[in-house]
Structure 1
Amino acid sequence: MRTLAVLVLCSLAVVCLTLDASTGSQPADNPAQHGLFVEREQASAVVRQKRAAGELTLTQLESLREVCEANLGCEDMMDTQGIIAAYTAYYGPIPY
């Protein structure tokens, strides 16, 4: 068992040293070359933007309404204060 552990550690060390030697040790002039930074358009396409409560589609509102109708208290609150307030009060933040 010890022999296997030593072999794995040695092979891992060889792989790390080989990768370090192949990439070179020259400092990068531009950090964007290594993928640390992306353009704003690319980042906004990847990161999902949080919507305001008023921007929900009709399908999303209907989905919230169906969940809220299963609870009598939530349904009563939905009739008086609206679906957004009722869902948030009984089930927490809107998932989308």
Structure 2
Amino acid sequence: MKTLAVLVLCSLAVICLTSDASQPAGDNPAQEGLFVEQEQASTVVRQKRAAGELTLFQLESLREVCEANLACEHMMDTNGIIAAYTAYYGPIPY
């Protein structure tokens, strides 16, 4: 029984290897869109987080950074922590 299983696996491996070799590398339509530029991939993969998805610990750490700047702290009191941090320090790192 073990011999039969090994024989079947070996025959499947041979079939897979020979089927890929029959097609030229440039004519394989499955690999045309396989590689993309790094910038394009990062925009597709990286998802921006909504403000409601931040945890209390993350909001507190943003608040501590913003409190060091008086203008940011004032904006934090009037417009909220997300708007103030984004205005003074750029996009939220998490």
TM-score band w.r.t. shorter chain: 0.5 to 0.7
Alignment of 1:1-96 (within 5 A): 24=21, 26-27=23-24, 31=30, 36=34, 47-96=45-94
Q: How far, CA to CA, are the matches of 2:33 and 2:90 in structure 1?
A: 37
* Cα distance between partner residues in 2 of 1:74 and 1:58: 19
Q: Which TM-score applies when normalising by structure 2?
A: 0.53
Q: Which runs of 5+ in 1 are unaligned?
A: 1-22, 38-46
Instruction: Please give the root-mean-square deviation of Cα atoms over the aligned residues, in Å.
Output: 2.9
Gaps of 5+ in 2: 1-19, 36-44
Q: Count residues with an aligned counterpart.
A: 64
SS in 1 for 2:91: coil
Q: TM-score, normalised by structure 1?
A: 0.52
Q: Provide the rounded CA distance (Å) in 2 between the counterparts of 1:93 and 1:48.
A: 13
Identity of aligned residues (%): 83
